[in-house]
Structure 1
């Protein structure tokens, strides 16, 4: 069963937003919206970095800051623009590496006592 409070939060998928994206997105919220998020956060996950971020933004709004548009390029999990796979290609991969031989038939290993 879905949490009723979660369904009425001012940011969709709030629980899945990374902190870096959250910081930018709360700039567009009113003080009432930030208070709602702060109350929700404290009663659910209560993540210290998030509560500090929300409390700081709330103080800014109470000190006269105005909501802004936020950063439209902030990480948004609901946009579905995730990359999959590795960014490494044959052109950027490291050269092949062969481990040193240890006791191969043409290059026998020596006991430590025989080293000079």
Structure 2
């Protein structure tokens, strides 16, 4: 198994920072330190390093990991397609009239005289 496959958060490299902040709350000190070491060696993204360092400080101050799981469905993924479409003729917007672009045949376009 590679180092990446052995991380406590599956698919870690592809998660956005907001999701990582949420998921690291479920990790204990050892897993979080391992993840932080990996981040520093690979991406070294400042917001991620700061979030992990802050969480390590919280754990050192007595915080406990949350009851969530680090492999929970990512909140940033949209839900799957609905089986029924909500689009119908009754939900269609009003018909639009394209702009006239100054054509003389268009009665709504004022003509310049003189």
TM-score normalised according to structure 1 size: 0.68
- CA distance in structure 2 between the aligned counterparts of 1:92 and 1:46, rounded to whole angstroms: 48
Find the counterpart in structure 2 of residue 83 from structure 1.
80
Cα-to-partner distance string for 1:59-87 (whole Å, 9 max, x where unaligned): 10111111121378x6528xx874359x9
Deviation at 1:32, TM superposition (A): 0.9
Indicate how the Cα distance of structure 1 residues 93 and 32 shifts in structure 2: closer, same or farther if over 3 A, else same. Answer: farther
- CA distance in structure 2 between the aligned counterparts of 1:46 and 1:88, rounded to whole angstroms: 44
Find the counterpart in structure 2 of residue 5 from structure 1.
3
Unaligned runs of 5+ residues in structure 2 are none
Find the counterpart in structure 2 of residue 28 from structure 1.
26
- CA distance in structure 2 between the aligned counterparts of 1:98 and 1:53, rounded to whole angstroms: 52
Q: CA RMSD in A?
A: 3.5
User: Secondary structure of the residue that 1:54 maps to in structure 2?
Assistant: helix
Unaligned runs of 5+ residues in structure 1 are none
The ranges of structure 1 where at least 4 consecutive aligned residues each deviate by more than 6 angstroms after the TM superposition are 108-111
TM-score normalised according to structure 2 size: 0.69
- CA distance in structure 2 between the aligned counterparts of 1:93 and 1:12, rounded to whole angstroms: 42
User: Secondary structure of the residue that 1:89 maps to in structure 2?
Assistant: coil
- CA distance in structure 2 between the aligned counterparts of 1:37 and 1:30, rounded to whole angstroms: 11
Find the counterpart in structure 2 of residue 42 from structure 1.
40
- CA distance in structure 1 between the aligned counterparts of 2:69 and 2:18, rounded to whole angstroms: 11
Deviation at 1:96, TM superposition (A): 3.3
